[in-house]
Chain A
Amino acid sequence: MSDARGVITAVETAETLENPYTLSHLDALESEAVHIFREVAGEFERPVLLFSGGKDSIVMLHLALKAFRPAPVPFTLLHVDTGHNFPEVIEYRDRTVEAHGLRLVVASVQEYIDGGRLRERPDGTRNPLQTVPLLEAIENGRFDAVFGGGRRDEEKARAKERVFSLRDEFGAWDPRRQRPELWQLYNGRHAPGEHVRVFPLSNWTELDVWQYILRERIELPEIYFAHEREVFSRNGMWLAPGEWGGPKEGEAVERRMVRYRTVGDMSCTGAVESSAATVPEVITEVAASRLTERGATRADDKMSEAAMEDRKREGYF
């Protein structure tokens, strides 16, 4: 790992020598994200940061901590918990909240199902069920700004998302009502009951996120790195077995060396075969990959051409 960091430092130093007042692409993206966090802290009453323990939300939290140093982060964290969690991720989440003295609100999909307010889908996937608990948590907490880790490179509906995304009282995203966003002037004005989703990582790519993790030495849950795991194959993805519907008949469980590129609901987040055990190895693998991270690992985005757009319209991230 120290070798890779050495390379990045060397490259940054070379560019610095030509002109002392340049910024590397990671510095530029970091500064932009910090600017976004501070705009929200300055203009909103009750911001909240969506924190799942996935790498994008971890990077978001890291940036928020840097933005307000030496003061604590001036907002709460919110986790929409599908109940199908990787134990390593929940352990990471709780440890992080503890270490930084943060406040965490958990909105539980399981409680909604147990209380009869949501019904399990036939395919067992719970990612689409997150919308209602999310919106109610926003309403109950009277949160007016919600930070999400969404990136525009993830998916084509997201490519047209604003940094400040206005949502009505149903949390709905109306692409035709989005405000033009010019220069670095973000307009966060909203009516009572409305809120604004804010995406500080809008301009980051998967590779940028990993390079930043390397540079900042950010710790991640272990499932992001190659490990041996029992998996079965479905729709070209490796899924972990569990009570949520796998393996079905004809799906054979086997042990493979895998890692996760995204962390979501266990029932629909696939692993990729990998031997990448360190951050530099992951960077090498991501740079060579011929599949997007969602295409490789998210069953729910394969549902239709406009799957993500439809979920966003309903109030999803």
Chain B
Amino acid sequence: MSANTTVDLQQVSATSLLRFATAGSVDDGKSTLVGRLLHDSKSVLTDQLEAVEHASRSRGQDAPDLALLTDGLRAEREQGITIDVAYRYFATARRRFILADTPGHVQYTRNMVTGASTAELAVVLVDARNGVVEQTRRHAAVAALLRVPHVVLAVNKMDLVDWSEPVFAAIAEEFTAYAASLGVPDVTSIPISALAGDNVVEPSANMDWYGGPTLLEHLETIPVGSDPSDEAARLPVQYVIRPQTEQFRDYRGYAGQIASGVLRVGEPVTVLPSGHTSTIAGIDLLGEPVDVAWAPQSVAVRLADDIDIARGDLIAPTAQAPAAVKDVEATVCHLNERELRVGDRVLLKHTTRTVKAIVKDITHRLDIDTLDKQERPGSLKVNDIGRVVLRTAEPLALDAYAVSRRTGSFLLIDAADGTTLTAGLVGEAFSGGAAHGM
């Protein structure tokens, strides 16, 4: 796009938003792929490219190192590694994208978990020469664990295997079978060369045997979001809006972002954990009254009855209300250098509710590469994935993570200094194969 190109407003008002994550290491060409996506979709601007070229030259490199586009911190640039999740933004005529670019090293499982937690799609990158390796299986397992709805296997460096269809087909078959055994519902495999750009944005002239979409085409057309009409509605109350002005003397709006499903005026609802019932008298969508609202809209709900509701309560349709429980079984990923031990007293943050909790048991630790279980490890270390039993001081209205990522997830927090210790997923880890079930 040159500076004097006129841009159609329709083109820039892309209407849907896709959050996706990339997993892989520099060796797989991930930085090159991300750089290629940004560059070929015209998202790298001249001053950014100049800065990268300048920095690359001062490091004695001939070609601009596109990894420098994403490695934002001084320590990362100095050590040539990616420490943290970097968020990247780009848009095409069809869609706006938020890319969580996560480092793939073994010690950074927590970063992959973080990036995958909000992603609707994960791109797992492999080197066509090496095929599916331990790291690939780890990336697939994390995507399955976090219930990322769509997974793309990008088989990179096809130029180094003579653009061979059988090589691609074998890798795609092995990966798809493994992902399916973990319960990943949707895998699409795409042969690419990030270095030359084949099948990233533009179709490859070297692989006429491939009839599928390029990576960007796939990202542009994959359906986003779940269908809220299939889900049980959940409104965690964030804040009670009480204007107490002359005009709105009796207004009381329970404000929150709908976590799942559809809410309608007139619907009978139950408030948890109290169990009180009422009817939705009105829904205000940022000040405008509406009859229907759905996830993930932020709304304020008014009820027909004057009942005691505060931050941390959950409003749900009476017909689909969850049970409020104090015993929680969950799969967790431990995020902090401080170990999580049986007997630890922590805070548990679930939606808008934070309660005290005790770690009653750590039933096993899962090796994310081999899926082998270690029974009763006693503690979990940073980047460990395991299964825990918790007891909370007050009841929580939980859903299984498999049913709702939003109301089935929680954090464990150090009560003393507020550190985020652990990410929790209520219920079973994987939906798939008995051999791997956790």
A: residues with CB less than 8 A from B are 4, 7-8, 10-12, 15, 19, 21-25, 27-32, 34-35, 38-39, 41-42, 66-72, 152-153, 155-160, 175-176, 178-185, 187, 189-191, 202-203, 205, 207-208, 211, 280, 283-284, 287-292, 295-296, 305-306, 309
B: residues with CB less than 8 A from A are 1, 3-7, 9-17, 45-48, 51, 55, 69-75, 77, 83-89, 91, 95-96, 98, 110-111, 113-114, 117-118, 225, 227-229, 238-239, 241-245, 247-248, 251, 255-257, 262, 284, 286-287, 294, 296-298, 300, 311, 335, 347, 349, 351-352, 405-406, 409-411, 413, 417-420, 423
For the complex, give the distance between the alpha carbons of A189 and B416 in Å: 10
For the complex, give the distance between the alpha carbons of A70 and B248 in Å: 8
For the complex, give the distance between the alpha carbons of A30 and B299 in Å: 11
Q: Are B238 and A42 in contact (CB under 8 A)?
A: yes
Q: Are A39 and B238 in contact (CB under 8 A)?
A: yes
Q: Are B45 and A291 in contact (CB under 8 A)?
A: yes
Q: Are A309 and B296 in contact (CB under 8 A)?
A: no
Q: Are B55 and A34 in contact (CB under 8 A)?
A: no
* Residue from B12, B347, B351 within 8 A of A287 (CB atoms): B12
Chain B residues within an 8 Å CB radius of A183: 117-118, 405-406, 409
B contact face: mostly helix, strand, loop, or mixed: mixed
Q: Are A175 and B241 in contact (CB under 8 A)?
A: no
With a 10 A CB-CB cut-off, give which of B6, B239, B311, B419 has the most chain A CB atoms. Answer: B239
With contacts A66-B286, A187-B413, A295-B47 taken as known, whether A21 is within 8 angstroms of B420 at the C-beta atoms is no
With contacts A72-B243, A152-B87, A160-B72 taken as known, whether A42 is within 8 angstroms of B117 at the C-beta atoms is no
Chain B residues within an 8 Å CB radius of A32: 257, 296
For the complex, give the distance between the alpha carbons of A205 and B297 in Å: 20
* Residue from A24, A34, A182, A305 within 8 A of B114 (CB atoms): A182
Chain A residues within an 8 Å CB radius of B16: 15, 22, 24-25
Q: Are B47 and A71 in contact (CB under 8 A)?
A: no
With contacts A25-B16, A180-B114 taken as known, whether A284 is within 8 angstroms of B6 at the C-beta atoms is yes
For the complex, give the distance between the alpha carbons of A289 and B3 in Å: 6
Q: Are B1 and A288 in contact (CB under 8 A)?
A: yes
Across the two chains, which residue of chain B brings its CB closest to A309?
B74
* Residue from B243, B411, B417 within 8 A of A191 (CB atoms): B417
Chain A residues within an 8 Å CB radius of B45: 289-292, 295
A selection of 23 A-B contacts at a CB cut-off of 8 Å is: A7-B9, A8-B13, A21-B229, A31-B298, A35-B257, A38-B298, A67-B255, A71-B243, A72-B243, A182-B118, A183-B118, A183-B406, A184-B118, A189-B418, A202-B87, A203-B89, A205-B96, A280-B9, A288-B3, A288-B5, A289-B3, A290-B45, A309-B73
